[in-house]
Amino acid sequence: AQTVTQSQPEMSVQEAETVTLSCTYDTSESNYYLFWYKQPPSRQMILVIRQEAYKQQNATENRFSVNFQKAAKSFSLKISDSQLGDTAMYFCAFRIAGGTSYGKLTFGQGTILTVHP
Amino acid sequence: KAGVTQTPRYLIKTRGQQVTLSCSPISGHRSVSWYQQTPGQGLQFLFEYFSETQRNKGNFPGRFSGRQFSNSRSEMNVSTLELGDSALYLCASSLHRDSHTEAFFGQGTRLTVV
């Protein structure tokens, strides 16, 4: 079974500063995908960034980047130049590639991020 | 392009009743997954449907069931409701069955069991 752990229940950051959210996972699979999702107060989950386990290069999407350490099973999210609109719950998620798991995403417990003006 | 639509947005039911939640995926998407979100347990996978077939199921009792129609719309049913079933139920749709494709989520249905 796969598990995803987010050890920071809450984080806060000042506007324009940088913040890093932590995520570790446990799996015996070698091929998988990792995701960071954002859930603002509107409740709609939005994909922030995706990383394929077979790629060594860390994914980046504008102000969002990840630090993927496969051996350590670590997948942290860095948000640069934080904006008020980044305030949300952030979830780290894991999905096995192929096999019978199909659409199943395994989520961490989430980190509430608050950006202060 | 319209997003994933879940109806109703809010629902209040009494213990012992049953409830049906609906999810309309993005046009062209054939995979629909359901998740239960609670403060205590977080986000937990319920089941996934592709082309009207359930392909994967989470660890939930048989009171939780679902189905998918030929137009890819999906329904989730919970029978004999318990207080612990109070949660936000999220639906996600994907274009393909492949695990790398992005899952797009709806805004959820907030179910309260009293």
Least confidently predicted of A42-51, A89-98, B97-106: B97-106
Query: What was the pLDDT predicted at B98?
Result: 67
Task: Quote the CA–CA distance of B9 and B37 in Å, as a whole number.
Answer: 14
Q: What distance in Å separates the CA atoms of residue A38 and residue A50, rounded to the nearest whole number? A: 12
Q: For residue B46, how far is the Cα from the chain centroid? A: 7
pLDDT in tens, A56-106: 899 999 999 999 999 999 999 999 999 999 999 999 999 988 766 667 899
Model confidence band, residue B23 (pLDDT cutoffs 50, 70, 90): very high
Q: How many CA atoms lie within 13 A of A97 on its CB side?
A: 12
Contact between B1 and B102 (Cβ < 8 Å): no
* Helix/strand/coil for A42: coil
How deeply is B42 buried, as exposed, middle or buried, from its count of CB atoms within 10 A (0-12, 13-18, 19+)?
middle
A108 in reach of chain B (CB within 8 A): yes
Chain B residues inside the 8 Å CB shell of A29: none
B72 inside 8 A of chain A by CB:
no
Distance from A97 to chain B by nearest Cα, in Å? 5
Average pLDDT over residues A8-13: 97
CA dihedral B31, A102, A6, A38 (to 10 degrees): -20
Does residue B80 have a pLDDT over 90?
yes
Between CA A24 and CA A35 the distance in angstroms is 12
φ, ψ (nearest 5 deg) of residue A19: -135, 145
Structure tokens at B68: 């998918």
Give the residue with greater pLDDT, B63 vs A100. Answer: B63
Residues B33-42 have pLDDT tens digits of 999 999 989 9
Q: Which of residues 28-87 of A touch B (CB under 8 A)?
A: 33, 37, 42-47, 50, 52
